Structure 1
Amino acid sequence: MEVPGKKLQAGPNAEDTTYCQPCELDDEFLPAEVYCTVCKEFFCSNCARVHRKQKMTRSHFLLDQSNKPTSLGDHETEYECTVSCDVHPKETIKYFCRTHQTLICGHCSVKYHRSCHADVISEISKDFKDDQEYGDVIKTIASLFKEINLRVSGVEKRVDVVARLCENEVDKLRKYRKKVIKYFEEREQALLKFIEKTKNLDEKLLGSLKPKLKNLNSKVEEINVTLEAQGNNMIQLFIETKRAKKLLEGLQNDLADINKGDVIHHYEFRKDPATERLISSGNGLGTLENIMTEAHEIVSAVSDHGPIGLTVQGCG
């Protein structure tokens, strides 16, 4: 068995021969029927039969007449495979099963691929770099590198888009919030102004009634004093009473007029139904809806047209 990774060099008497090499050691020259890809030796039919029976060599893969090399010279520059088999980790991959299109070791070839068409990798891989399959793989790798780099660039752009979308929508939300707050502040000031104006009107009205009532009270008091001053003078009392009666009628009319004007404004703050519905809806200021847009379309929209509106359903 050669040392893995080293070139396999043929012996000094390597010639274009297909004789059984073990038999040659006994000076017997029998035609080679098979070639062992592990031992790198040609065997006659008898030696091949013994090779298949021995415990140490029964898993070796033997190439028949149609697949075996024509001479030892065909293997002067081969390399030993050092990749472990997936099924048998202690064995190295040596063959390629064309039937199942899979890489196999010697154990696999005996146990699972005995009837398959298998190639020795060291044989079929010599000019593999010039093969279309290898070229296609290299092209695929280059294509994947290109696509991955484009994706990386796209992700970086979308990171910027995400940040800009967030900034734009937060800015729109806060501007609208300020507009709403300004509106309610203006409404509050308008209502407060109305309340203050009405309060001033009522206070002015009530303030004007006080002197009128005081004047009426003084006149009634004067009449009362005049009547009490007459004592037992019935004639004078009669006359003053008649006079007082007319005066009192006028004073009663004046009081009635005062009573008519004694009306203050009754007002009450009532909540706006629309505002109440807005508050109870939980959707004050607005909502966020999810716009199903492809990432590249968002990038294009932001790049070509500046900020775009983005709303996400369910965020209130």
Structure 2
Amino acid sequence: MATGGQIDTDILSDEIFDVLCSICRNEGRNTEGEKYCVDCHDYFCVSCVKVHSKVPVLAGHKVLDKSQVKSGTSIGLQRAPAERCDRHSHKHIDMYCKNHDNVGCSTCMAVDHRLCKDTFYIPEFIQNNTYQVESRDIQTKLKEIGKTLEKQADRFKQDKQRLLKRKAEILAFIRKFRQEINDHLDKLEKSSINEIESKVKCLEDKIDDSLKQLQANKSRIRSAYDKLAFTNTNHSEVFVNVKMGEDAANVANKYMEHVKIKSTVEDIEFQPDRTILTQLEQKKTIGTLSEKPLQTADNLFQIKGNQSYNLKVKSDNVSCNIRSACCMEDGTIILVDNNNNKLKRLHSYTYTVTDYCDLPGKPWQVCMINNTQVAVTIPIKKGSSFHFSRKKYENNKQAQN
């Protein structure tokens, strides 16, 4: 019997090794297991079984003496998996559903596999069915999948870098576009200012001209008044000054009447184009943003398979040479057989020739005109000719127009 402490494992038999304390063995000590936990399917030494019993979750487990374990139970006894369930973290993954080839905890089996007939406790299933887990194959598969995921992760990183680069380009374009808008608004502002300056200059010139005329009339009135103010014994000269004064007064009165008639005060007023502001207020952005798929090799069409079909009819003299094809609205496929000078109708499901039309030359191209007509090109020595053919399929008769 082994005792506590270090022992030489090379001399241990398989039976003794299988009943070592699992806790001590995990810590590098080889201590004989005196107790067996039915729920844990593990052996414990006297010291470790006390620790086992103090854990609240394990306190309800059934613990037996090693002597109470049936003979042969210790040999080849499978331990319950230690992996915990992702959905029920307090449970271990110790159940297997053979119907779905899926593992889980007892709660998973009760919820998701309650109708399944073949559910087993994993240690018992492995022991009773001599089940062998091909871990190397799974490791190889996981490694390959891991590489695929890593490559995809690199693609995602590249996509993110490309997206961030594209973002920077778009933001730069937005700022450039905004600058273009600002430049155009600056031009509009400058044009408006120039228009105002020009208008005000015109009005200022008119006022200046009016002031000049007014000043001229004032000068004549002042001069006439001053001449009459001085006493002059020369009656002739007085007479002349009176008449000139009357003339100056009449001219001034006419000017004032003219000014009163045309004395409408001219002013300027600016009305902003509110439509510009309204349009800007209606805009949430200065452009539209959309998503488009990135054209990569994965987006290209791929050939899933191919198959050969016999397109010959009894009257064909040589092998078929299909130069062109078109599809009608009803799904009918029209083929151009260049070698046999024929226009052939192909069934869209069985891909068999159901009808044909003989042509006067070697056809090259065919296209649909409507649901009953097709156009065929037939090269001749002097040029090319077009033949419009209409097939009457209901009676399997041939007709050409």
TM-score by length of 2: 0.41
Q: What percent of counterpart residues are identical?
A: 11
1:8 aligns with 2:17: no
Q: Which has the higher contact order (CA 8 A, sep 6+)?
A: 1
Computing the radius of gyration over CA atoms, which structure comes out larger, 1 or 2?
A: 1
Tell me the CA shift for residue 188 of structure 1: 1.3
1:109-166 per-position Cα deviation (integer Å, ceiling 9, x unaligned): xxxxxx987756367558654xxxx576346414421331232122111221221121
After TM superposition, the structure 1 = structure 2 runs for residues 85-100 of structure 1, keeping only pairs within 5 Å, are none
1:121 aligns with 2:121: no
What amino acid maps onto 2:286 in structure 1? G
What amino acid maps onto 1:183 in structure 2? H
Q: Distance in 2 between matches of 1:142 and 1:178?
A: 53
Q: Distance in 2 between matches of 1:263 and 1:153?
A: 80
What amino acid maps onto 2:254 in structure 1? N
1:1-56 per-position Cα deviation (integer Å, ceiling 9, x unaligned): 9999987379xxxxxxxxxxxxxxxxxxxxxxxxxx999xxxxxxxxxxxxxx953
Which residue in the other structure is 1:162 paired with?
163
1:175 aligns with 2:181: no
Contact 2:224 2:244 in 1 (8 A): no
Contact 1:216 1:251 in 2 (8 A): yes
Contact 2:42 2:79 in 1 (8 A): no
Which residue in the other structure is 2:286 paired with?
286
Evaluate the alpha carbon distance shift between residue 198 and residue 260 of structure 1 in structure 2; reply closer, same or farther with a 3 A threshold: farther
Evaluate the alpha carbon distance shift between residue 60 and residue 159 of structure 1 in structure 2; reply closer, same or farther with a 3 A threshold: farther
After TM superposition, the structure 1 = structure 2 runs for residues 190-209 of structure 1, keeping only pairs within 5 Å, are 190-209=191-210
Determine which structure has the larger helix proportion and give its number. Answer: 1
What amino acid maps onto 1:286 in structure 2? I
Q: Distance in 2 between matches of 1:180 and 1:99?
A: 69
Evaluate the alpha carbon distance shift between residue 100 and residue 178 of structure 1 in structure 2; reply closer, same or farther with a 3 A threshold: closer
Q: Distance in 1 between matches of 2:142 and 2:168?
A: 39
Tell me the CA shift for residue 245 of structure 1: 3.4
1:221 aligns with 2:226: no
Q: Distance in 2 between matches of 1:100 and 1:238?
A: 138
After TM superposition, the structure 1 = structure 2 runs for residues 136-151 of structure 1, keeping only pairs within 5 Å, are 137-138=138-139, 140-151=141-152
Q: Distance in 2 between matches of 1:175 and 1:204?
A: 43
Pairs aligned (count):
225
Structure 2: gaps of 5 or more residues:
17-40, 44-62, 85-91, 106-117, 298-401
Q: Distance in 2 between matches of 1:162 and 1:249?
A: 87
What amino acid maps onto 1:216 in structure 2? N
What amino acid maps onto 1:8 in structure 2? D
192-201 or 256-265, which deviates more: 256-265
Q: Distance in 1 between matches of 2:186 and 2:120?
A: 89
Contact 1:227 1:241 in 2 (8 A): yes
Contact 1:81 1:94 in 2 (8 A): no
SS of residue paired to 1:267: coil
Determine which structure has the larger strand proportion and give its number. Answer: 2
Which residue in the other structure is 1:313 paired with?
none
Q: Distance in 2 between matches of 1:180 and 1:59?
A: 90
Tell me the CA shift for residue 251 of structure 1: 3.2
Contact 1:93 1:103 in 2 (8 A): yes
Evaluate the alpha carbon distance shift between residue 223 and residue 100 of structure 1 in structure 2; reply closer, same or farther with a 3 A threshold: closer
1:151-195 per-position Cα deviation (integer Å, ceiling 9, x unaligned): 212211122122112112101210111011101111111122122
Evaluate the alpha carbon distance shift between residue 243 and residue 99 of structure 1 in structure 2; reply closer, same or farther with a 3 A threshold: closer
Tell me the CA shift for residue 86 of structure 1: 6.4
Tell me the CA shift for residue 84 of structure 1: 4.8
SS of residue paired to 1:195: helix
Q: Distance in 1 between matches of 2:143 and 2:93?
A: 27
Tell me the CA shift for residue 197 of structure 1: 2.1
| CA RMSD after TM alignment | 5.3
Contact 1:38 1:61 in 2 (8 A): no
What amino acid maps onto 1:165 in structure 2? R
Which residue in the other structure is 2:273 paired with?
272
Evaluate the alpha carbon distance shift between residue 233 and residue 61 of structure 1 in structure 2; reply closer, same or farther with a 3 A threshold: farther
SS of residue paired to 1:270: coil
What amino acid maps onto 2:159 in structure 1? R
Q: Distance in 2 between matches of 1:103 and 1:204?
A: 99
Contact 1:220 1:248 in 2 (8 A): yes
TM-score by length of 1: 0.50
Evaluate the alpha carbon distance shift between residue 248 and residue 277 of structure 1 in structure 2; reply closer, same or farther with a 3 A threshold: same
Tell me the CA shift for residue 203 of structure 1: 2.9
Which residue in the other structure is 1:21 paired with?
none
Evaluate the alpha carbon distance shift between residue 172 and residue 300 of structure 1 in structure 2; reply closer, same or farther with a 3 A threshold: farther
Contact 1:82 1:93 in 2 (8 A): no
Which residue in the other structure is 2:23 paired with?
none
Evaluate the alpha carbon distance shift between residue 116 and residue 269 of structure 1 in structure 2; reply closer, same or farther with a 3 A threshold: closer
Q: Distance in 2 between matches of 1:147 and 1:161?
A: 21
Evaluate the alpha carbon distance shift between residue 7 and residue 122 of structure 1 in structure 2; reply closer, same or farther with a 3 A threshold: farther
Which residue in the other structure is 1:17 paired with?
none
